[in-house]
């Protein structure tokens, strides 16, 4: 009887176990690479696993990374729930960082008001930019994935143009904009760490996403459109507009993320390449199975991983880029639905055998 219960639990929680196994598999794969290439594998393991919690400052770093991760992943979740694989995150995030910088340098507003105004404006800008590929698909049936990815490169170059020609501070020895006025930047929440007030923005976004998706008509329609298009059409949901609304909401969140990141973390615009938050959003959404609450937890876990990778990068001979490889492999294994499917099958067979005897 006891065995029966365990098996039932196994079959039911199979999805979770499968995800965990996929994660384990990718860690083993990367672990093997580390063993082969590093002279100090023990150190690597220590900094990756324990490193992020060895000091208050480092714990702060986890949450600082988790801020853009959570925002971008929730944004991607909303867009993906409407069935749209809109990979605009990287580009929109970058262009919103550029616009937020321009606004921060040109608007002359009192503290607290200034960042709020900039973040809200960037939300609008982000919504517009995320809508561009979505509208191309809606109106003219363009391939959304390709359109969004290509537009990312366009926004990258436009953002770089802003950086190099519009707000560039020629007196710097590196490429960067003028430093933002103190009134426009986000202050630190916890002294001694780099966690900034962008944390409040994350909390607001998280609440909005959870409430909108689970409790409102719009959220229900979005999920319906993503899950079963024909059923959504039959039940009278205006499918195209609902999907577009989801893209606009997602884009607005990405805009918030970009503004918060540049105002809170950098306090000056100096990024001249796309930050790979889109890739992380994809990973986190895949691990969190598009469920807002799980996505938030996954964001923090992946941020922990990322913080560990950053420590490994600075303390050992393994570079940060291996984290990108790990991230990609993770998504592939998590997405491979039939990986370990045999296991579930065996469980089901065993369960039915137990019923017979």
Does the footprint of another protein cover residue 275 (CB under 8 A)? Answer: no
Nearest to 324 by CA among 44, 30, 31: 30
Cβ 178 to another protein, closest distance in Å?
A: 19
| The only residue of 50, 113, 153, 204 in contact with another protein, by rule CB under 8 A | 153
Q: Closest CB to another protein among 33 and 56?
A: 33
Does the footprint of another protein cover residue 346 (CB under 8 A)? Answer: no
Cα dihedral value 84, 88, 93, 95, nearest 10: -140
Q: Closest CB to another protein among 73 and 327?
A: 327
Q: How far apart are CA 99 and CA 102, in angstroms?
A: 5
Cβ 333 to another protein, closest distance in Å?
A: 8
Does the footprint of another protein cover residue 229 (CB under 8 A)? Answer: no
| The only residue of 8, 15, 321, 353 in contact with another protein, by rule CB under 8 A | 321
- DSSP single-letter state for residue 197: T
Half-sphere exposure of 317 (CA within 13 A, CB side): 10
Cβ 301 to another protein, closest distance in Å?
A: 18
| The only residue of 119, 212, 245, 283 in contact with another protein, by rule CB under 8 A | 283
Dihedral of alpha carbons 275, 277, 282, 283, sign: positive
Does the footprint of another protein cover residue 342 (CB under 8 A)? Answer: no
Q: How far apart are CA 232 and CA 177, in angstroms?
A: 47
Does the footprint of another protein cover residue 322 (CB under 8 A)? Answer: yes
| Burial bucket for residue 175 (CB in 10 Å: 0-12, 13-18, 19+) | middle
| The only residue of 57, 157, 214, 346 in contact with another protein, by rule CB under 8 A | 157
Q: Closest CB to another protein among 56 and 146?
A: 146
Asked if 76 and 298 touch (Cβ cutoff 8 Å), the reply is no
Determine how many CB atoms are found less than 10 A away from the CB of residue 216.
11
Dihedral of alpha carbons 276, 46, 29, 348, sign: negative
| The only residue of 140, 230, 355, 357 in contact with another protein, by rule CB under 8 A | 140
Q: Which residues contact 62 (CB under 8 A, 6 or more apart)?
A: 52, 300, 303, 304, 307
Q: How far apart are CA 292 and CA 209, in angstroms?
A: 7
Does the footprint of another protein cover residue 164 (CB under 8 A)? Answer: yes
Q: Binding residues for another protein, how many (CB under 8 A)?
A: 48
**Coil, strand or helix: which one is 87?**
coil
Does the footprint of another protein cover residue 261 (CB under 8 A)? Answer: no
Cβ 118 to another protein, closest distance in Å?
A: 24
Report the site for another protein in 72-131 (rule: CB under 8 A): 85, 87
Report the site for another protein in 3-42 (rule: CB under 8 A): 37
Q: Closest CB to another protein among 111 and 319?
A: 319
Question: Which residues make up the interface to another protein (CB under 8 A)?
Answer: 37, 85, 87, 133, 136-137, 140-143, 145-147, 149-151, 153-154, 157-158, 160-161, 164-165, 276, 279, 282-283, 286, 319, 321-332, 335-339, 341
């Amino acid at each position: 009887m006891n065995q029966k219960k365990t098996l039932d639990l196994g079959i039911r929680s199979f999805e979770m176990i499968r995800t965990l196994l996929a994660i384990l598999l990718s860690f083993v794969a990367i672990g093997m690479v580390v063993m082969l290439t590093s002279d100090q594998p023990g150190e690597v393991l220590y900094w990756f696993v324990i490193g992020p919690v060895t000091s208050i400052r480092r714990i702060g770093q986890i949450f600082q990374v988790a801020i853009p991760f959570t925002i971008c992943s929730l944004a991607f979740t909303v867009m993906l729930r409407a069935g749209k694989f809109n990979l605009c995150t990287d580009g929109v995030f970058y262009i919103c960082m550029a616009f937020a910088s321009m606004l921060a340098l040109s608007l002359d507003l009192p503290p607290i008001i200034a960042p709020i105004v900039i973040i809200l404006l960037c939300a609008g800008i982000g919504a517009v930019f995320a809508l561009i590929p979505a509208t191309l698909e809606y109106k003219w049936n363009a391939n959304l994935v390709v359109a969004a990815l290509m537009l990312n490169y366009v926004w990258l170059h436009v953002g770089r143009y802003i950086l190099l020609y519009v707000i560039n501070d020629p007196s710097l020895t590196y490429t960067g904009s003028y430093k933002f006025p103190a009134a426009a930047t986000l202050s630190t929440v916890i002294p001694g760490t780099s966690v900034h007030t962008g944390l409040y923005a994350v909390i607001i976004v998280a609440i909005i996403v959870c409430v909108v998706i689970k409790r409102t008509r719009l959220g229900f329609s979005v999920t319906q459109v993503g899950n079963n298009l024909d059923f959504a059409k039959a039940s009278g949901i205006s499918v195209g507009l609902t999907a577009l609304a989801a893209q606009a909401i997602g884009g607005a969140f990405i805009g918030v993320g970009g503004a918060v990141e540049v105002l809170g973390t950098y306090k000056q615009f100096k990024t001249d390449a796309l930050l790979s938050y889109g890739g992380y959003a994809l990973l986190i959404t895949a691990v969190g199975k598009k469920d807002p609450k799980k996505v938030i937890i996954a964001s923090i876990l992946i941020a922990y991983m990322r913080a560990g990778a950053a420590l490994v990068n600075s303390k050992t001979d393994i570079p940060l880029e291996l984290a990108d490889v790990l991230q990609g492999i993770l998504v592939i294994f998590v997405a491979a639905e039939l990986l370990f499917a045999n296991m579930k099958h065996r469980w089901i067979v065993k369960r039915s055998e137990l019923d017979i005897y």
